[in-house]
Amino acid sequence: MDSSGRPLNAMDLHEAYLSRRIRDVLPVEGVPPPRDGKRIESLPERGIDFYANLAFSTRSDLAHLQAPLTMTDRERMFVRYDDPRGGNFKHMKFALATRRIADLYPAVAQVDAQIEKIDGETVLVDFSTRGSLPHFLAYQVRLDRGAWRRCGPRVEWAVPAGVHLLEVSAVNAAGVVGPVFGLRATRSS
Report pTM.
0.55
The CA distance from 168 to 133, in Å, is 14
Taking only the tens place, the pLDDT of each residue in 80-99 is 999 988 878 888 999 999 99
DSSP-assigned states of every residue in 30-70: -SS--TT---GGGSGGGGGGGGSSEEEES-S-GGG-SSPPP
Residue 14: closest CA among 86, 84, 99: 86
Tell me which residues of the chain have a pLDDT lower than 70: 30-31, 33-34, 37-40, 42-44
Domain boundaries, given as residue ranges, for the chain: 10-104, 112-187
The CA distance from 7 to 27, in Å, is 10
Taking only the tens place, the pLDDT of each residue in 27-44 is 877 667 667 766 667 666
DSSP-assigned states of every residue in 73-87: HHHHHEEEE--TTS-
CATH of domain 112-187: 2.60.40.10
